[in-house]
Structure 1
Amino acid sequence: MSEELTGNILIVQDGEPTPTVNSTLAGAVTEALNHDCIEEIYGGLNGLRGLMNEDIIDLAEESQQVIRGLRVTPGAALGISRGSVRRPEELERVLAVLEAHNVRFFLLIGDRETLEAGARLSELAEAKGVSLRVIGLPKSLTNELSLTDHCPGYGSVVKQIASTVKELAVDACCQGNHDLVSILEVGGGHTGWLAAASSLAKRRNEPSDPPHLILMPEVAFSADAFVEQVSNVLKTHTYCQIVVGQGLVDSDGNYLATSIPAEMASLPNISSPSLFLRQLLEQHLAVKVQCSVLGATQRCGARAASQADSNEAFLCGQAAVEAVVDGQSGKVITLSRGDTDTYSCETGLASLADIADSTKAFPANWINEDGLSISYQYYKYASPLAAGEVSVPYENGTPVFFALAANRVDKHLEAYSMA
C-alpha cells in the first residue's frame, strides 16, 4: 500500500500547444478539487523554465466558468517555455521550487522533451528521498509517442486538416479548367501522421475525391514521376489537390529545398516543399499553382476541434490526478482503444522512463501501393478521433476564449539566474 501523502499539486504545460491541451488542464483542476489530500492547486507559468523562476499561480482561485471555458480555448493557458530543462542544476532548481511550496503531486502536460524532463525529475526526487509523485500527460499534434494508441491533440488536427482540404478543393473546383494545382503543406516533421490526416476528406468508396495526391515523408519523392502524376490527374479533373508533408525527402534522404527565408521554416533544416513543388510544376506544365501552408493554425484551430479529442484530453487530466493520489509516480498517462467495432477509449499508465524510446512511425502498410494514397486501415484508426464538434461560444460574431486570472503565489527562494 502506498504512503498516504498530503500536500499541494502543481501543474505545468510545456512544448508546442494543441487545440485541446487546455482540456487536459481543466480535467486535472476539476479532479484535484475532489481530493482532501490536495491542499492547494498551483499552476506553473511558462513551462519548466518559468517554474525555475518560481512563477506560480493559484488555480484554485480561478472561477469554475473559466476552468470550464478552458475546454474551448486554444493555446496553453499556463504558457510554455522555449528551451529544454536537461542540466542537473536545472532539475535541482525545479525540485527546490517544488519543495519550497510543499508540492507533493506534480503533473507535466507536454511533448516528448517535457516528459523526458519529468522522468529525470522523478528519478532525482527518488534519489534524494523527496516525497514527490510525478505524472506525465502526453499531448502532440504529430501523434509521435508509441506508448499510447494516440496522443491528445491529434484528433483535432486531423479534423482541421481534412476540413481544410475540403474547403480548398471546393475553391479550386470552381476555378480550374484542367490547369489548376492547389497544394496544401502540413507539418509533422519526419513522419506522415499529419499528411495522412488529409485522407479523411475523401468520401467512402470515392477514391477520386481530393486530395488527389498525398506526399508522405515516408515515400521518397521523384520529380519526374510527380510531374507525370499531376498531369494525369489534370486529364480527368479540372484541378489537382495535393497535400505534402513538410518533411518530404528525395531518394537520397535530402529535404526538398528551395530558396525561402529561414524564418518561414517551422523546423530546423527543413524548407518549404510546397514552394519547391510549385517551381517544379511551373517549369514543366502550363498550370497555375496555389500554395497554402497550415502553420500555427494546426495547433490553435479551436473552431475545428474534435469533441472526442477534447473529452479524452479532459479524461487524461482527471486520470493523472487519480494516479498521483493513488500513489503512482514516474508514470505517463496513456490512451488505449477497445477491441469492439464501436470505438471506445480508456486511460492507462506506462513508465516515464520509456518515453525517450517511444517513437510512433506511420505504419508502412497504411500507405497504398501507389505511395500517394492512404488505406482504409488509417481511416478506421483516425476517424473516431476526429468525431464530434466542440461548441465554442460566440460574441459579436467571433469566438470567445477564456484566460486565467493568474493570481500569483508568493516566492520563497532567491532569484535564479538562467544560463
Structure 2
Amino acid sequence: MAKKNAFYAQSGGVTAVINASACGVIETARQHKDSIGKVYAGHNGIIGALREELIDTSKETPSTIAALRHTPSGAFGSCRYKLKSLEQNRAEYERLIEVFKAHNIGYFFYNGGGDSADTCLKVSQLSETMGYPIQAIHIPKTVDNDLPLTDNCPGFGSVAKYVAVSIKEAGLDVASMCDSSTKVFILEVMGRHAGWIAAAGGLAAQEEGDAPHIILFPEIAFDKAKFLKRVDECVKKYGYCAIVASEGAQYADGSFLADSGTVDAFGHKQLGGVAPTLAAMVRQELGLKYHWALADYLQRAARHIASATDVEQAYAVGKAAVEMAVAGKTGVMAAIVRGKGKRYSWSIGEAPLEKVANVEQKMPRNFITKDGFGITEKAREYLAPLIQGEDYPPYKHGMPVYARLKKIIAPKKLNTEFKV
C-alpha cells in the first residue's frame, strides 16, 4: 500500500506548549518514512484544510522543528472554527475529504480541546462513509484542563505554574504596601466552567496567611454577602486580601458575574471581566482600596516559566498520536495516565473519542474546601506534580529565542475555492 501524507492542525486558544506537541508529531513522522510521507500543517487550523492552505513542514529544517519544543503560541496558526454536523453542512466535510484526497492525506492529527475532539471524531466516522477513510487521532490541548479520560491536559501545567507564581509574587507586593496602600488585590484567570486554573493559584499558599486568601470557582455559586464578609475578615487579620477569580465565576442561577452579552465562534458566552466587577463590589460595600489584573493571554503564552512536566507531556502526546496512527488506530485520543504510588509518574494511554467529545471535566467537589474559597490537600496532591520542573528556552541578548517558520504553502491542486 502506498504511503499516505499527514495533516496536522492546531485548534482553539493556544498554549505555551502546543508547539511541543507539533514538534512531537513532525519529528516522529519523519522517523516513520516508510509509513508517512509529508506532514502538512493547516494554516490557521482546520480552516487551512478547507481553504487548501497547507503548510509543507518538509521545507522546515530539523533545527527549526526542534525549536518548536520551546516556542509558545500556535506556530502554524490556530482558529476557533467548529465543523457543524454532516446534516447541517455536508459541504464542509466533502471539501475536507476532497482536499485530503488531492494531497494524498490519510492521517489527520487534530491538536485541541473538546470541540476539536468532536471534529476529529466526525472526520474519523464520516470519512469512511464518504469513500476515503482517514485515520484521525486527537492530541489533547487545553489550558482549562477540562477534557475527560486524561489525567490532565497539556498546556494546563504551565498556566498553573504561571498563575501560582504570579499570585505569590503579587501577594508579597501587596503585603509590603498594605499599611498605607492597597488592601485588596484580584487576579482574574481563565476558566469558563471549570476552575482548574484558579485552583492552581492555591499552590502559592504554603503557610497560614499566604496569598491567595480567596479563590472563586465556577463550580461554587457566588454569594456576594459571604464573599465580602471573607474579604473584610482577611483584611483585618492579614492586613490585605489576595484573590484569584475564575472568569467563569457565576451566581446560583448560572448567570456569570461578567457576562458581556456576546458569544464567540463556538457559541460560548464572551465574558467581560470578573475582576473589575468584584473590585467595584469591594469599593462600594467595604470602601477598600484595590488593584486588579487580568492574566489573560499572558498566562497561556508564558513559555519562559513553563512547567518541565507539561513540556514533556505535550511532546509525548504528539509523538504517541503518530505511533497510534502508524499502528492502524483511528478515532482515539492520546491520553496522559497518572501512575499509582506516592512518587509521581505518568505514561501515555488512549481514550475513545466517543467518550471525549463534548464532555467537560469540572473540578471535583472534594478538591474545594467546604467554605468554597480554597483548595483541599487532595487538590494540592493532584496539582503540585503538574507544575514541577523548569524548561527555559534558550536566550540571546537577554531575550528568549523562538522558532521562526518559513510556512511555505504547498501548491494547490484543486480549482475551486471554499469560503469559510
TM over 0.5: yes
**How far did residue 146 of structure 1 move?**
1.0
Assess if the C-alpha contact under 8 Å between 1:189 and 1:267 holds in 2: no
| Corresponding residue for residue 354 of structure 1 | 355
C-alpha distance 327-262 of structure 1, shift in aligned 2 (>3 A): closer
Q: Give, in whole Å, the separation in 2 of the partners of 1:349 and 1:251.
A: 36
- Stretch deviating more after TM superposition (346-355 or 90-99): 346-355
Q: Give, in whole Å, the separation in 2 of the partners of 1:148 and 1:338.
A: 12
SS at match of 1:292: strand
Whichever residue aligns with residue 56 of structure 2, its letter is: D
**How far did residue 134 of structure 1 move?**
1.1
Assess if the C-alpha contact under 8 Å between 1:258 and 1:276 holds in 2: no
Whichever residue aligns with residue 24 of structure 2, its letter is: G
**How far did residue 131 of structure 1 move?**
3.7
**How far did residue 261 of structure 1 move?**
11
Equivalent positions of 1:338-353 (< 5 A) are 338-353=339-354
Q: Give, in whole Å, the separation in 1 of the partners of 2:307 and 2:135.
A: 31
For residues 208-261 of structure 1, what are the alpha-carbon distances to aligned partners after superposition, in whole Å with 9 as ceiling and x for unaligned? 211011111112222222221111111121211011111111233222248999
Q: Give, in whole Å, the separation in 1 of the partners of 2:43 and 2:245.
A: 35
Q: Among all aligned residue pairs of Structure 1 and Structure 2, give the percentage whose two residues are the same amino acid.
A: 34
1:25 aligns with 2:22: yes
Q: 1:159 aligns with which of 133, 154, 161?
A: 161
For residues 309-346 of structure 1, what are the alpha-carbon distances to aligned partners after superposition, in whole Å with 9 as ceiling and x for unaligned? 00011011110110111100111111111112111111
| Corresponding residue for residue 188 of structure 1 | 191
Whichever residue aligns with residue 185 of structure 2, its letter is: S
Q: Give, in whole Å, the separation in 1 of the partners of 2:271 and 2:57.
A: 39
Structure 2 length normalisation: TM-score?
Answer: 0.94
Assess if the C-alpha contact under 8 Å between 2:261 and 2:270 holds in 1: no
List runs of 5+ in structure 1 lacking aligned partners: none
Assess if the C-alpha contact under 8 Å between 1:49 and 1:85 holds in 2: no
Q: 2:57 aligns with which of 56, 59, 64?
A: 59
| Corresponding residue for residue 107 of structure 1 | 109
| Corresponding residue for residue 369 of structure 1 | 370
Q: Give, in whole Å, the separation in 2 of the partners of 1:9 and 1:38.
A: 7
| Corresponding residue for residue 294 of structure 2 | 293
Assess if the C-alpha contact under 8 Å between 2:114 and 2:360 holds in 1: no
Q: 2:78 aligns with which of 70, 77, 80?
A: 80
Assess if the C-alpha contact under 8 Å between 2:107 and 2:325 holds in 1: yes
1:197 aligns with 2:200: yes
The alignment's C-alpha RMSD in Å is 2.0
**How far did residue 132 of structure 1 move?**
2.2
For residues 6-34 of structure 1, what are the alpha-carbon distances to aligned partners after superposition, in whole Å with 9 as ceiling and x for unaligned? 22112111111011000000001111111
Q: 1:13 aligns with which of 4, 7, 10?
A: 10
Matched residues, number: 412
Structure 1 length normalisation: TM-score?
Answer: 0.94
**How far did residue 128 of structure 1 move?**
2.7
Whichever residue aligns with residue 9 of structure 1, its letter is: A
| Corresponding residue for residue 124 of structure 2 | 122
| Corresponding residue for residue 34 of structure 1 | 31
